[in-house]
Structure 1
Amino acid sequence: MTGNERSRFLVILSAEPEQVPLASERIARQLSRKFGGATVMGGHDNAWLTGYWAEDGHAFKGEYEGNVHKESVFAVMLMVMPDEEARAYAEIQKAVRQAASDFGLNSRHIHVEVSAVRSRHFDLQGVTPD
């Protein structure tokens, strides 16, 4: 399949700031070996984000009474062909479980978004100015 359609996964998990560089790299490299590439959200020196979570945030409510916690998180993005979505989800779970075990991550509930997107690519060396 070579069309523009892709399934995009955005995986968000918590970690201590000092754990983020190695854990995010491990997950991204493992997924890249399976699917050709993955993206860690953030930069090399600032590879974490900040998450805010209500203690009762897992419930579907109009308003949340639980304490709101602030924690460092990181995100990994993976895009695959739609027919690879089930395999990609399984590989994401495997990579995250392994990183959590290897690095002692404080993650429990892993947020995974899946979106249907269209992807386009162009080669800067092949583009001619207008």
Structure 2
Amino acid sequence: MNTPEVLFVCVHNAGRSQMAAALLHHHAAGRLTVRSAGSAPASEVNPAVVAVMAELGIDVSREFPKRLTTDAVEAADVVITMGCGDACPVFPGKRYLDWQLDDPAGQTAEQIRPIRDEIDRRVRALLAELVAR
């Protein structure tokens, strides 16, 4: 049986997609392959995002923004976009979800926590659906 692969995509791959990938990776405990990428990657992961993830015991300090590639989209079973617009290539047979979430760029840890918690809620629901198959 193939392990399902999920790709999270946002513009800078410095906030939302990094949180989503880290949370899904954490909760999936090896049951899924998880990646993240950005259509225009930033130079580093948002330090406030690193801080709010550390509050949950999840270390993203060694992560770095990655460029979205056609190969990453082709490899994924589920592609979840988070504000990347038309930058994400679309392939027939892939499942696409668009999660409308506030961008944590320029926000404080206090403002980012609700975004993180909403991502966590959606990630847990996605995981339950994917492992039930």
TM-score, length of structure 2 as denominator length: 0.30
When you count strand as a share of all residues, which structure comes out higher? 1
From the CA coordinates, give the structure whose radius of gyration is larger: 1
When you count helix as a share of all residues, which structure comes out higher? 2
TM-score, length of structure 1 as denominator length: 0.30
